[in-house]
Structure 1
Amino acid sequence: MPRRAVQFWCAIVIVGLLAGVAGAATTLLLHAIEHATYHYSLGTLLSGVEGSGHLRRALGPMLGGALAGLGWWWLRRRAAVPTLGAAIPEAVGTGGPLPRRALSIDAGLQVLLVGSGASLGREGAPRQLAASWGDLGTSKLALTARDRDILLACAAGAGLGAVYAVPLGGALFAARILMGTWHPRVLGVALITSSLAVAVAAPVTHFEHAVQWPRADVSYLFVFLALALAPLAAAVGLTFDTVMTKARPTVQPRSWRLIPAIAAAGLLTGVCSLWLPELPGNGRSILQVSVNSGLTLAAAVAILLLKPLLTALFLRAGAVGGLITPALATGAAAGSIVALALNQWAGAELNVAAVSLTCAAGVLAITQRSPLFAALFVWELARPPLWLLAVFGLSAWGAHVIAQRRAAKTGTAASR
């Protein structure tokens, strides 16, 4: 075997192992911050929020936001912190390293903010750490620019796969969303690195999935409802995407004002959690209660409005975080509204868990622009019956097609 091929295979193993370590490290840190913020020792974040006192529930996210804002103010005054999507092409094009120190510190601040209750996703931090550590671990190997591009993208996808225990989802994220290709070489590297990362992080994650499927029976006729839910998922997804795009500043704030701004967003989240304890965190609590039919119709409506609003406030204030789980939570809330309303007012007997996840898959297809990734990611999160993967796929594909047609009409109208 040629020496270059040997080094590339060594790099694949190194990247997969380090991505798993990054996923395990961020998971441990996140849980430690959650337990410290809400002062609980066992159970989920939702149980911790529900069991904490009102003062701690209100002020915990504010304090976490202030500390994270202070960290970002210090970091951004000393170094540029590019997004991973911008950092990888620049590093590959110039042949230089990723800004590892800046990306690693930024990732730690994201975990601090999300762990203290911010309405942002936690998947951005392990992606950044995995790419940074993978870049460092393979820096002595003789890799071509193309090899390095593939490895860094696969490292980011493997970091995502590790924290959520979704090897297929992590691989598709790397190949389809980050690299936009079906090339067998890319897919193969993505599958190997993501699987390795999930296995390495297993002692910490225990292969635990974000959503526990209630094992309720679902009729095969549900396939037809998936297409009916597609327009709703498209509307919610397009609205969510538009709000987040407008909320995100064009230039990262570096002024000291981002400290009180992020703290204020945290305080508002904490105050809202006095009535809706599902709101703090990345959205896992909302997904879980939606799947377990634990939401009332009024609560689902409130969450549908407040979850994207709070997420947008954190982004507007200058915070950084993922959007995958907030989008899923918003979609699940919309699906719960449909199921609960039809069951209550029309005498239907819809499975709330299946409707929630189907709508969530459609929303994620819009925000990530990949229906296959959305369907597979949602299925891996909950592990419902295998045939429901086709249902999620139909909803995601339908929402994606609607969004594409809308974009085409908007583009035509704009050109006129």
Structure 2
Amino acid sequence: MPRWPASSSDRATVGGVTSRASRNVDFFCAVVVVGLLAGFAGLSTTVVLRFVEHLTYHYTFGSLLDAIAGTNPVRRAVGPMVGGGLAGLGWWMLRRRADVPPLAGTIARHERIPRLSWSIDALLQLVLVGSGASLGREGAPRQFAAVLSDLCTGWLKRLSRADREILLACAAGAGLGAVYAVPLAGALYALRVMLKTSHPRAVGAALLTSSLAVAIGSAVTHDRPELDWPSADSTYVLTAHGLVLAPLALAVGLAFNRIMAVARPATLLRSWVLIPALAAAGLLTGICSHWWPELPGNGKSILTVSLASGMTLSAAAVILVLKPLLTALFLRAGGAGGMLTPSLATGAAAGSLLVLTINSVAGTHLHLPAVSLAGAAGVLAVTQGSPVWAAIFVWELARPPIWLLVVFLGSAVGAHGLRMLAKRRL
């Protein structure tokens, strides 16, 4: 647990109790404000993202997957290309004039929040992802939530640097929770991924902010499919397959991390090359979507097909390869976006490939959605380094019966444990 420095109010000897009480009141008020603002950030970014999707693929109702499959071939290819070009133009103009530092490092180092550049960068991420780029959409609400929280709580002078770090990290986690409607996973993201602490002050703030944010964001995230899940009698069988899946999840997760590390430029691209590079990446994604309409976007379409048991063996194999490669292509071209859902979708494809192979060879009838989600949890545990968070995130995202959380934990903890064991031996 990090040892945060005490504030001047903590060190006061005269009226110290009153000072601490006042700071606690300020902190509680700030936590409530941050939760509400993060919910607004999640809601507004979701609305903007859906607007861009509808504009790109010219549809009014239904899912993005249906829209991509139903639109004409020219629009399917040109739409992502135009979106990539526009995002590239925006980043070229932004990065020539301002720095866009990473979220986690800026918060951890207690640096000044670049409100304007982060806000513009978040909008450009939505344009890129909404037009079909293979990147996650969670980066935009995390940044926007942090900007709003910093703007609206900066006047509370009694808060210490540690309190501000907690608030900003909770804002980022709550923004993530709001767009995916995952309150517990949003809180755990702030605690385990951003802060790496279990301090009671941080735990309470994370739970409250994430819950408030998800409640506000539910106005646009309430649409969840009703699926047929296996009975609890299958727990042992599915858990065994989740553990068997762990080595595959480890290999896929490590490969995903390696590909992204190689693809990510050492410094942000700032030249005009951003425009044709992102346009070309969008065009290639659009062309690939003629055969595999699940590829554009953050990966939700891949999860949708996996949960509906609509994935074929050949499609799972192709998506397992193409999804991380397209994500790396956008990173190499200078794009910005989240990595959670691309790695999640890659893991779902790996799980689908395994279960479809077993069902085909052995003639079994393993539950495709359950094993696909276990693969997603395993890969996410490797890419994010937090197996419990990964399992809970996947469970909250799909909302299966509670007992399936055991299956997801088995795959996530197994993959993460194998990684730790390999590190020790090396």
TM-score by length of 2: 0.93
CA distance in 2, matches of 1:321, 1:227: 31
CA distance in 2, matches of 1:364, 1:160: 15
Residue of structure 1 equivalent to 2:180: 164
Residue of structure 2 equivalent to 1:5: 24
1:253-291 alpha-carbon deviations (Å, 9 max, x no partner): 001001111111111000000000000000000011011
Identity across matched positions, percent: 61
Residue of structure 1 equivalent to 2:327: 311
- Are residues 1:205 and 2:221 paired? yes
CA distance in 2, matches of 1:110, 1:243: 21
- Are residues 1:76 and 2:95 paired? yes
Three-state SS of the structure 2 residue aligned to 1:294 is: coil
Specify whether residues 212 and 374 from structure 1 end up closer, same or farther in structure 2 by C-alpha distance, changes over 3 A only.
farther
CA distance in 2, matches of 1:310, 1:374: 23
CA distance in 1, matches of 2:91, 2:315: 34
The one of 111, 123, 127 equivalent to 1:108 is: 123
Residue of structure 1 equivalent to 2:417: 401
1:296-336 alpha-carbon deviations (Å, 9 max, x no partner): 11111110010000000000111000010000110111111
User: 1:301-340 residue pairs with structure 2 within 5 A?
Assistant: 301-340=317-356
Residue of structure 1 equivalent to 2:147: 132
- Are residues 1:265 and 2:281 paired? yes
Q: Is the 8 A contact 1:213 1:382 kept in 2?
A: no
Residue of structure 1 equivalent to 2:367: 351
Specify whether residues 190 and 108 from structure 1 end up closer, same or farther in structure 2 by C-alpha distance, changes over 3 A only.
same
Specify whether residues 213 and 407 from structure 1 end up closer, same or farther in structure 2 by C-alpha distance, changes over 3 A only.
farther
Q: Is the 8 A contact 2:235 2:407 kept in 1?
A: no
Three-state SS of the structure 1 residue aligned to 2:97 is: coil
The one of 38, 41, 63 equivalent to 1:44 is: 63
Which shows bigger deviation, 314-323 or 181-190? 181-190
CA distance in 2, matches of 1:160, 1:330: 19
The one of 29, 39, 45 equivalent to 1:20 is: 39
Q: How much does 1:293 deviate?
A: 1.0
Residue of structure 2 equivalent to 1:118: 133
Specify whether residues 212 and 378 from structure 1 end up closer, same or farther in structure 2 by C-alpha distance, changes over 3 A only.
farther
Q: How much does 1:212 deviate?
A: 5.4
TM-score by length of 1: 0.95
Three-state SS of the structure 2 residue aligned to 1:66 is: helix
CA distance in 2, matches of 1:120, 1:406: 29
Residue of structure 2 equivalent to 1:191: 207
Residue of structure 2 equivalent to 1:35: 54
Q: How much does 1:390 deviate?
A: 1.1
1:161-209 alpha-carbon deviations (Å, 9 max, x no partner): 0000000000000000001111221111100000000111122222x35
1:7-30 alpha-carbon deviations (Å, 9 max, x no partner): 111100110000000000000000
Matched to 1:385, the amino acid is P
Q: Is the 8 A contact 1:65 1:262 kept in 2?
A: yes
Q: How much does 1:43 deviate?
A: 0.7
Q: How much does 1:139 deviate?
A: 0.8
Q: CA RMSD in A?
A: 1.2
1:39-73 alpha-carbon deviations (Å, 9 max, x no partner): 00001110110110000001111100000000000
Residue of structure 2 equivalent to 1:214: 228
Residue of structure 2 equivalent to 1:413: none
CA distance in 2, matches of 1:89, 1:229: 35
Q: Is the 8 A contact 1:308 1:326 kept in 2?
A: yes
Q: Which runs of 5+ in 1 are unaligned?
A: 411-416
Matched to 2:137, the amino acid is R
